[in-house]
Structure 1
Amino acid sequence: MNRILIVEDENIIRSALKRLLEKNGYDISDAESVSDATERFSLDNFDLIISDLRLPGAPGTDLIGMASNVPVLIMTSYASLKSAVDAMKLGAVDYIAKPFDHDEMLKTVAAILQQKEIAAADPSAPPPADSKDGKTQIIGSCRAMQELDRRIQKVARTDATVLILGESGTGKELAARAIHEQSGRANKPMVCVNCAAIPETLIESELFGHEKGAFTGATSARSGLIEAADGGTLFLDEIGELPLEAQARLLRFLQEGEIRRVGAVQPVTVDVRLIAATHRDLKNRARNGEFREDLYYRLYVMELRMPPLRDREADILELARAFLAKQGEKLGCEQLSFTPDALELMRRYPWPGNVRELENAIERAVILAECDRITPDLLGIEVEPQSLSELEAHYTPQPEVQAPREQSRTDLSLDDYFQRFVLENQDTMSETELAKTLGISRKSLWERRQKLGIPRKPKG
């Protein structure tokens, strides 16, 4: 059993992380500070140390030198990403942003421990292909994806602003990462921001930073995400959800190459390449006054369109087999294969949730599989044969992607039901009413929106 030391001064976060890791089979010890950790434990006895960056007394990065050969994973808030990059330079094995997703934390921990074991057995062994040292791979060989790959290679050689368009779940962030990794900024940070996941009252502070006393609660000066990406790439996902005031600030950043923190007098010069993405029709929103027209044309330097999965029939089975191999390796059942019926169902299904829905369906099937064959019922997308063509004919892509309003179905997963319910009711219900009706907290509603990529309805 792997031993992990958690060093975190916030009791709630420390306790929650400890429970999460213990539940997944790790032997956990915890401490409140660097001095507390070194006084109570011999650091060399652990397989991994997970430490917050900012701790009372000494910073978490001090553990890197003290722990000799024990890898140190640094936790940091979004606004401290630049410091996290500096921590990587000091020898941290990786960093993870808070608040962290449980699955992301478990995946990161497992990858670090796996690489540690490989390195111990063979010091010359390369890192695993799915580690963060590996390059992003966009699977697909259809004509649309080949053209997309060519355009990514061309635009990556420049510093041009890129606007990536496509429905939710088509892989817009993967395309952004591919551009960054093939650019001259590849060894600099790439900061990813979901504009729909940050409250409107905080978005300007998060992006541009703020000075001490700029608003109630600003007890100290703080740099923003754009500064954290200095020298590298800033990816703004769901940019169509950005409030108009923040759009004005972003426009100045694009025009002048400088930002001004909230409450500051002097601007700060930054060198950041911007990649933006949206599933909305920005041109139409600009006409309606919901998006600044001048910002739209500043973003519209280079456009990439991510094709929906229903238009990539030749890639569906290739993607499915790749996801099956990935999940099989992750769960230790690498002999799994699809039955012919399952392959035919996946090929014909319209995939309204695109690649994300396909990956989730296969992950669910691998978890539920009791033998080495993935059958249609395990995928959770089964429809009656006579209604399949009706479903395909019913689904018509819209300029702004919405959940298809199908007749009542009994094969919806919980995520499908959640997505459809929110999209159909958010125009008439507040966030509080949505959460209450679904029987969850507002925080859980926000987290599931983030997980499924469901933007909030912009305030009119």
Structure 2
Amino acid sequence: MPHILIVEDETIIRSALRRLLERNQYQVSEAGSVQEAQERFNIPSFDLIVSDLRLPGAPGTELIKLGQGKPVLIMTSYASLRSAVDSMKMGAVDYIAKPFDHDEMLQAVSRILRDRQTLQSMQAERAATSKTATGDKAGPDNSNGEIGIIGSCPPMQDMYSKIRKVAPTDSNVLIQGESGTGKELVARALHNLSRRAKAPMISVNCAAIPESLIESELFGHEKGAFTGASAGRAGLVEAADGGTLFLDEIGELPLEAQARLLRVLQEGEIRRVGSVQSQKVDVRLIAATHRDLKSLAKVGQFREDLYYRLHVIALKLPALRERGADVNEIANAFLARQSLKAGRNDLRFAPDAEQAIRHYSWPGNVRELENAVERAVILCESPDISAELLGIDIELSDLDVNEFIGLAPQTSGSSSSTAGEPTEDLSLEDYFQHFVLEHQDHMTETELARKLGVSRKCLWERRQRLGIPRRKTGVASET
């Protein structure tokens, strides 16, 4: 169980944070100042240190040195963002702005501990490799331990190969894929395997920052640059100097900010809002999006010159439904992690759950799968986790695959030319589309859903994903 040290002088905040972390299966110790932490604990023995920036006596950044390499997460008020940026330069692994919600803190803690575990595994593998003779190179290298992503399907093996080739370079990278596929994991792998690994990686969700603040957040501002700018402040691009800047959902970036970002890529310099002077920065840019930037550029919603600057290296992450048996491997990894948190070692997926996991379409991808497993572990009272307990709408997976593909279509009086076509060679997706298009003229949505063994909600979602429009007119009467 990871052991976390909280250093916070506000008793209410410290106690609330301790309870939050303990409820999520972390061991927690606490102190009200750096001095108290030194007197009571062996600071390097902790797995993670979470500290307020402003403390009585020494600032929280002192724990970076005292931790002797252990990760330090700095908490700071929004108004002290410049100090937080400075703490990142001093070696803090990340910062979180107050007030933060519980999910935000838990995600930050989980990510930091996971990255630390991955780094330790990399170091152990490299140490083991250095002790063995360089030898047998026959056969493909399926190891992805240093990348920290689970899965061994062909598309992911191709992805690992590209990550290893691209990571040592300084080329800009554009990661494409549906929401929840793990684009930030790829970005972190690229950073951790690069020469910039010891410098900070600053992650920014462009969709989460108000449009009026995004230029100031990214590029900083000078005192008096706008109403409320009572002091100058460094931006997140500046904080990433020497390291990596990861811009998630870059398709949401306003055009004005895109122009400034283009200057960073072309000239290697930034200009704070309200300043007439530029300063050099050395930043590698990794961007991610679930949108089609090329199409956005054609309609003027994304700068075409920026698109081509970003598109030096493009990595396409497959959706979870396209990764075959990987989905069960990932689910079992999540089950092991959540079981450890819950203090249980008897949990396993029942056969119907294994089938449901494998055949469900997972529109929310890995994020949805992780949430489903976490919920099931919390609610499970017996060792076997059922499909129902996972809380997923099974869609087509609640039918046996062979049974479903062999389902005889219900035809109306006038059979269509496709009614007699064999279905043995159709995938589930193909059969779904074939069945809906053939029968939606004489069946209601409820009847269609019942025949396919899905809910109306799932029928609608799958229509959306496959691009099958509903008939605008009412259901035709059978002839």
Do residues 185 (structure 1) and 196 (structure 2) align? yes
For residue 263 of structure 2, give the secondary structure of its aligned residue in structure 1: helix
Q: Could you say which residue in structure 2 is the equivalent of 1:329?
A: 340
Q: CA deviation at 1:18?
A: 6.0
For 2:209, the aligned partner's letter is I
- Choose from 84, 87, 92 the match for 1:84: 87
Sequence identity (%)? 57
For 2:8, the aligned partner's letter is V
CA RMSD of aligned residues (A): 4.0
For residue 236 of structure 1, give the secondary structure of its aligned residue in structure 2: strand
Q: Could you say which residue in structure 1 is the equivalent of 2:329?
A: 318
- Choose from 40, 48, 53 the match for 1:45: 40
Uncovered stretches (5+) of structure 2, i.e. residues with no partner: 44-48, 124-145, 406-427, 435-444, 465-479
Larger radius of gyration: 2
Do residues 98 (structure 1) and 97 (structure 2) align? yes
TM-score (norm 2): 0.69
Q: Could you say which residue in structure 2 is the equivalent of 1:163?
A: 174
Do residues 221 (structure 1) and 232 (structure 2) align? yes
For 1:7, the aligned partner's letter is E
Q: CA deviation at 1:160?
A: 0.6
Q: CA deviation at 1:306?
A: 0.5
How far apart in 2 are the matches of 1:188 and 1:69?
13
The count of residues paired between Structure 1 and Structure 2 equals 384
For residue 341 of structure 1, give the secondary structure of its aligned residue in structure 2: helix
Does the aligned pair in 1 maintain the 2:271–2:278 contact within 8 Å?
A: yes
Q: Could you say which residue in structure 2 is the equivalent of 1:304?
A: 315
- Further displaced range: 47-56 or 343-352: 47-56
Does the aligned pair in 1 maintain the 2:9–2:56 contact within 8 Å?
A: no
**Structure 1 residues 291, 373: closer, same or farther in 2, change over 3 A?**
same
How far apart in 2 are the matches of 1:203 and 1:75?
21
Q: CA deviation at 1:218?
A: 0.9
For residue 288 of structure 2, give the secondary structure of its aligned residue in structure 1: strand
Does the aligned pair in 2 maintain the 1:43–1:70 contact within 8 Å?
A: no
Q: Could you say which residue in structure 2 is the equivalent of 1:241?
A: 252
For residue 201 of structure 1, give the secondary structure of its aligned residue in structure 2: coil
**Structure 1 residues 162, 372: closer, same or farther in 2, change over 3 A?**
same
How far apart in 1 are the matches of 2:265 and 2:353?
48
Do residues 364 (structure 1) and 375 (structure 2) align? yes
How far apart in 1 are the matches of 2:279 and 2:101?
32
For 1:199, the aligned partner's letter is P
Does the aligned pair in 1 maintain the 2:352–2:386 contact within 8 Å?
A: yes
**Structure 1 residues 167, 79: closer, same or farther in 2, change over 3 A?**
farther
Q: Could you say which residue in structure 2 is the equivalent of 1:61?
A: 61
How far apart in 2 are the matches of 1:157 and 1:86?
22
How far apart in 2 are the matches of 1:236 and 1:109?
20
- Equivalent residue runs for 1:94-243 within 5 Å: 95-99=94-98, 100-103=100-103, 105-106=105-106, 128=117, 135-243=146-254
Do residues 258 (structure 1) and 274 (structure 2) align? no
How far apart in 2 are the matches of 1:316 and 1:105?
27
Q: CA deviation at 1:130?
A: 8.2
Q: 1:161-214: CA deviations, max 9, x gaps? A: 011111001111111111111111111111100000000011000000011111
For residue 150 of structure 1, give the secondary structure of its aligned residue in structure 2: helix
How far apart in 1 are the matches of 2:185 and 2:298?
29
How far apart in 1 are the matches of 2:157 and 2:68?
46
Q: 1:74-98: CA deviations, max 9, x gaps? A: 324665454233443xxx7x54422
For 1:343, the aligned partner's letter is E
Uncovered stretches (5+) of structure 1, i.e. residues with no partner: 116-126, 397-405, 421-460
How far apart in 1 are the matches of 2:88 and 2:292?
35
Does the aligned pair in 1 maintain the 2:89–2:200 contact within 8 Å?
A: no
Does the aligned pair in 2 maintain the 1:327–1:366 contact within 8 Å?
A: yes
How far apart in 2 are the matches of 1:313 and 1:7?
46
How far apart in 1 are the matches of 2:323 and 2:310?
27
For residue 200 of structure 1, give the secondary structure of its aligned residue in structure 2: coil
Does the aligned pair in 1 maintain the 2:175–2:287 contact within 8 Å?
A: yes
Does the aligned pair in 2 maintain the 1:380–1:412 contact within 8 Å?
A: no
- Further displaced range: 320-329 or 270-279: 320-329
Q: CA deviation at 1:308?
A: 0.7
How far apart in 1 are the matches of 2:257 and 2:102?
30
TM-score (norm 1): 0.71
**Structure 1 residues 243, 370: closer, same or farther in 2, change over 3 A?**
same
Q: Could you say which residue in structure 1 is the equivalent of 2:139?
A: none
- Further displaced range: 63-72 or 215-224: 63-72
How far apart in 2 are the matches of 1:141 and 1:106?
28
For 2:87, the aligned partner's letter is A
